[in-house]
Structure 1
Amino acid sequence: MTAVSFDLLIILPALLAGLLVLVTHIPLGAQVLKRGIVFIDLAIAQIAALGVIIAGVADFDPQGWAVQVAAALAAVLGAVLLTWTEKRWPEVQEAQIGVMFILAATAGLLLVAHNPHGGEHLQDLLAGQILWVRYDQLLVPAIGTVVISALLLLFRDRLSRLGFYLIFALAVTASVQLVGVYLVFTSLIVPGLAVRHYAGRKRLVLAYLIGAAGYASGLVLSTLFDLPSGALIVWCLAILAMLVYAAGPKRQGTLSSRHG
């Protein structure tokens, strides 16, 4: 077995994890941009990570169902709370999302303050350990991806505020544990930003291509240069997104204002 084939065997489950994340996060990211609540993904992802930390403090098996339930429950509670705040104070919803993110992040810091491995655990939740994902870890996220994709196709643009937040929370719950908070945010927002001026089905296809190419190139480069996979994938996604945006159509209003 050559070094190249060995590296590909390491990369394959990680790439499959990334593709699973992209299946649901590309359409959800488009909804996030449309609704103007960009930082909801960071907030919900951080709340789901807080659920994982709480489960760890309670000495639950890191690979057990209890951790999944804790993360999902935390994310759903966060989604319900955000639904309530949007109904009560819609004019400051983005600020409220930011506050929830900060509270969840600092709560995690407090909970692991006396844990000798707390810093390492937080780093894993933020940057992820995607390169070391195993095939058996993909079963539950794969089932969740099928269910969430079916719900998105069934309801399309008819999702209520609460329905959207709940589906979003469930999608983010599994992806945070697979790829980390940074990649969850990047997968949701960056491809959507790049293709926002493209028309029709081309927009969705290009977004998926950016995502797949970003994950693949980041994983390959991380193994070649021994660099953190999550951080490198974020940069690869961002660079590809900028290239696709630069090569694409521009909004007519922007061009007109410049010529005016």
Structure 2
Amino acid sequence: MNWSALDWGILGPALVAGLLVLATHVPLGVQVLDRGIVFIDLAIAQIAGLGVIAADALGLPEGGIAVQAAAVSAALLGAWLLTWTERRAPKQQEALIGVMFILAACAGIVLLASNPHGGEHLKDLLVGQILWVNTTQLMWLAGVSAVLLAALRLGWVARLGRFGFYGVFALAVTASVQLVGVYLVFSSLIIPALGTLGHAGTKRFVLAYGIGAAGYGLGLALSALLDLPSGAVIVWTLAACGLVGSMVFKPGRLQAGN
């Protein structure tokens, strides 16, 4: 193990990025499980990524405002389509979400086919570049997260009906997918929520945030010590923390302890 790799200058901003992602993804993940549409995050993240790929194919400056606008527009279009399909075919919604995911994924592959760096771009989209986040990206993510959390807390989302949930979801995923990648977006949404099934209210959110924070912290440390890809390792540590959390903090066990 390379203990000198535990450099807070690199791991610190990455951990902050993970915590900011969890800030919005934990409450949204709970709603996703409650609604039974587990794969919506994969679909929306892939659609937002497709917007980034399309912007790159058009020659727009990487990381610029135009690219962000393309990602947000694509994600909101996906949100609108999911709102429409939920209204027209609610029983088939999960299947339609899967179809949208695979179509967006294949469209991205087609757009990257002629790009000599296509494989690298696709890898970045899937596993992200969490170790290389900068202050500007963190401030942008913090601002978006604060607005979305306020919208959820104050009930603004509910006033917009079906589209409110999908729209907020699209904005949250778009803000995070370019930093942490599709796989970590999915894991951050589903694993903490899954690991706290049976709990409710504030207790569930506290436990879910704890699972998520432990997963990110442990994953970043192990990836640095073992010189392994951070995104992939964090997914595994999130899963491990979710499993341990679900066993240690079983609702029945907590009640017995009280």
TM-score by length of 1: 0.92
- Any residues of structure 2 matched to 1:193-212 within 5 Å, and which? 193-212=194-213
4+ residue runs over 6 A deviation:
none
Residue 34 of structure 1 is matched in structure 2 by 34
State the superposition RMSD in angstroms: 1.7
Residue 166 of structure 1 is matched in structure 2 by 167
Residue 183 of structure 1 is matched in structure 2 by 184
The share of aligned pairs that are identical, in percent, is 62
Q: Given the superposition, is the C-alpha separation of residues 5 and 185 from structure 1 closer, same or farther in structure 2, using an over 3 Å criterion?
A: closer
Task: Give the counterpart letter for 1:79 in structure 2.
Answer: A
Residue 97 of structure 1 is matched in structure 2 by 97
In structure 1, the residue corresponding to 2:62 is in which secondary structure? coil
Residue 87 of structure 1 is matched in structure 2 by 87
Shift of 1:199: 4.0
Task: Give the counterpart letter for 1:61 in structure 2.
Answer: P
- For structure 2, the 5+ residue unaligned runs are 253-258
Asked if structure 2 preserves the Cα contact closer than 8 Å seen for 1:194 and 1:245, the reply is: yes
In structure 2, the residue corresponding to 1:52 is in which secondary structure? helix
- Spell out, residue by residue over 1:95-122, the C-alpha distance to the aligned partner (whole angstroms, 9 max, x if none): 0000000000000000000111001000
In structure 2, how many angstroms separate the alpha carbons of the residues matched to 1:161 and 1:34? 14
Residue 19 of structure 1 is matched in structure 2 by 19
- 2:116 is the alignment partner of 1:116: yes
In structure 1, how many angstroms separate the alpha carbons of the residues matched to 2:185 and 2:62? 20
Asked if structure 2 preserves the Cα contact closer than 8 Å seen for 1:198 and 1:248, the reply is: no
Asked if structure 2 preserves the Cα contact closer than 8 Å seen for 1:127 and 1:183, the reply is: yes
Shift of 1:249: 2.5
- Spell out, residue by residue over 1:57-105, the C-alpha distance to the aligned partner (whole angstroms, 9 max, x if none): 0111112101110000000000000100111111100000000000000
In structure 1, the residue corresponding to 2:60 is in which secondary structure? coil
Q: Given the superposition, is the C-alpha separation of residues 199 and 35 from structure 1 closer, same or farther in structure 2, using an over 3 Å criterion?
A: closer
After the TM superposition, which of the residue ranges 3-12 and 66-75 deviates more from structure 2? 3-12
- Spell out, residue by residue over 1:31-52, the C-alpha distance to the aligned partner (whole angstroms, 9 max, x if none): 1011111110100000000000
Task: Give the counterpart letter for 1:146 in structure 2.
Answer: A
Residue 255 of structure 1 is matched in structure 2 by none
After the TM superposition, which of the residue ranges 136-145 and 11-20 deviates more from structure 2? 136-145
In structure 2, how many angstroms separate the alpha carbons of the residues matched to 1:200 and 1:165? 22
- Spell out, residue by residue over 1:153-195, the C-alpha distance to the aligned partner (whole angstroms, 9 max, x if none): 0118835211100000000001000100000000000000000
Asked if structure 1 preserves the Cα contact closer than 8 Å seen for 2:6 and 2:224, the reply is: no
Number of matched residues? 250
In structure 1, the residue corresponding to 2:207 is in which secondary structure? helix
In structure 2, how many angstroms separate the alpha carbons of the residues matched to 1:30 and 1:181? 18
- 2:217 is the alignment partner of 1:216: yes
After the TM superposition, which of the residue ranges 199-208 and 111-120 deviates more from structure 2? 199-208
Residue 48 of structure 2 is matched in structure 1 by 48
In structure 1, how many angstroms separate the alpha carbons of the residues matched to 2:95 and 2:112? 26
In structure 2, how many angstroms separate the alpha carbons of the residues matched to 1:81 and 1:158? 18
In structure 2, how many angstroms separate the alpha carbons of the residues matched to 1:156 and 1:236? 34
Task: Give the counterpart letter for 2:232 in structure 1.
Answer: A
Q: Given the superposition, is the C-alpha separation of residues 5 and 110 from structure 1 closer, same or farther in structure 2, using an over 3 Å criterion?
A: closer
In structure 1, the residue corresponding to 2:185 is in which secondary structure? helix
In structure 2, how many angstroms separate the alpha carbons of the residues matched to 1:104 and 1:90? 21
In structure 2, the residue corresponding to 1:165 is in which secondary structure? helix
Q: Given the superposition, is the C-alpha separation of residues 102 and 216 from structure 1 closer, same or farther in structure 2, using an over 3 Å criterion?
A: same
